[in-house]
Amino acid sequence: MTESVPGIWQALLQSGEAMATEADYEHGYSRRLRDDLVRMVSFRLGSEIHAVPIRKVREITRCFAVTMVPRTRGYIRGVGTLRGELIPVLCLASRLGLPAAEVSRRSRVLVVQIDSDVFGLLVDEVLDVVSLEPESLREPPSVLGGAGSVSRDFVFALARKEGNLLIVLNLATVVDPEDFVAPEWRKGPGER
């Protein structure tokens, strides 16, 4: 059975864009809220901190049982049922080329929605909801090193938050249904 993380995460997810930021607290509420801030859910994969736009995240749940689907790529953990809905679950770390995640007490599944399709992304720990000024986002350098060891294709931008490097992922390339089936089992066009 599945169980949602109660409390703050759900509240944050439902609160919309008008959420006050840390800057607002510093300056008091008299300041007009910026409405162009990009809100992200940040989470940990191994030692790296990654983020995805909050409007893509439908919910955050504890891990739920998944069934392995044969003939798929290694990062596909399988398919699970969340309130009657079938959801493919990906191990985000292995998808990004990092060591595969071990499920722990802190592990969570980000349920993301891309167009009308829903996918689950297994992460090691959900950290925060952060608001980023668009101007603070940086193009990733052509060769990523140091804090990031993720292929550039998957990275949308880099940002700094309280001294930490935040890797903002490009969900469109990270979650690619065309790539789910193991290469040897892919059908050519016109087959099936």
Partner 1 sequence: MTSQLTAISEIQDLVEAFSRSLLQIESERSEGGESDPDLVNAAFRAVHTLKGIASMVEVDELVVMSHELENCLDDIRLGKRLLDTASLDLLFAAVELYTASLAHAVDPSRPVPDVSSFLSRLKETGAAQAAPTSTEEEVSLDWLHEDVRSVLTEYEEFRLRENIGNGKGIYSIHVSFDLLDVDGGIERLKTKLKTLGEVLTYLPSADASRDDRIDLDILVGSANEFDLLRETLKGEAASIERLNTGGPSVAHEAAVPAARARESTRPERASAAGGVSHQSAPTAASARAGDASEMTAVSLESEQQSKVAPSPAAAPAPGAAPPPQSIRSVVQTVRVELSRLDALMNLVGELRVIQGDFARTISRAEDTLRTVPEVKMLHHQTRQMARRIDELRDRILDVRMVPVGQMFDTLARVVRKLSREHGKDVRLVVSGEQTELDKLIVEELSDPLMHMIRNAIDHGIESVDRRSAAGKSLTGKITLTARQRGNSVEIRVEDDGAGMDWLALRERAVLKDLVSQEEAEVMTASEALRLIFAPGFSTLDDLSQSSGRGVGMDVVKTNIMRLSGQIDVESEVGRGTTFRLTLPVTLAIIQALVIKGGDQMFCVPLGSVLESLMFDRSEIETIEGFEVISLRSEALPIVYLDRIFGLPPVSKDGQLYVIVVGLAEHRVGLVVDDLLEQKDVVIKPLGPGLDMVPGVAGATEIGAGKTVLLLDLAAIVSDAVRDFGAGDRRRMEVVRT
Site membership for partner 1, residue 69 (CB under 8 A): yes
Taking CB under 8 A as the criterion, the residue among 41, 54, 63, 66 binding partner 1 is 66
> Rule CB under 8 A: which of 128-147 touch partner 1?
none
Which of 21, 58, 64, 136 forms a contact with partner 1 (CB under 8 A)? 64
Phi-psi label, residue 10: left if phi above 0, alpha if psi -120 to 50, beta otherwise? alpha
User: Shortest Cβ distance from residue 9 to partner 1 (Å)?
Assistant: 21
72 lines the binding site for partner 1 (CB under 8 A): yes
Of 114, 123, 121, which is closest to residue 80 (Cα–Cα)? 121
Residue in 10, 67, 151, 164 binding partner 1, rule: CB under 8 A: 67
70 touching partner 1, by CB under 8 A: yes
| Among the residue ranges 77-85, 121-129, 141-149, 159-167, the one whose residues contact partner 1 (CB under 8 A) | 77-85
Is residue 76 part of the contact set for partner 1 (CB under 8 A)? yes
**Whole-number Cα distances in Å, 51 to 56, 93, 151, 164:** 11, 13, 15, 12
**Given the complex with partner 1, which of 120 and 140 has the nearer CB atom?**
120
In the set 38, 50, 77, 80, which binds partner 1 (CB under 8 A)? 80
Binding range to partner 1, per CB under 8 A, among 50-58, 91-99, 125-133, 174-182: 174-182
Q: Does 86 bind partner 1 (CB under 8 A)?
A: yes
Applying CB under 8 A, does 32 fall inside the site for partner 1? no
Among the listed residues 68, 105, 162, 188, the single contact to partner 1 using CB under 8 A:
68
Q: Is 142 exposed, middle or buried (0-12, 13-18, 19+ CB in 10 A)?
A: exposed
**Binding residues vs partner 1 (CB under 8 A):** 1-2, 64-72, 76, 78-81, 84, 86-88, 117-118, 176-181, 185-187, 192
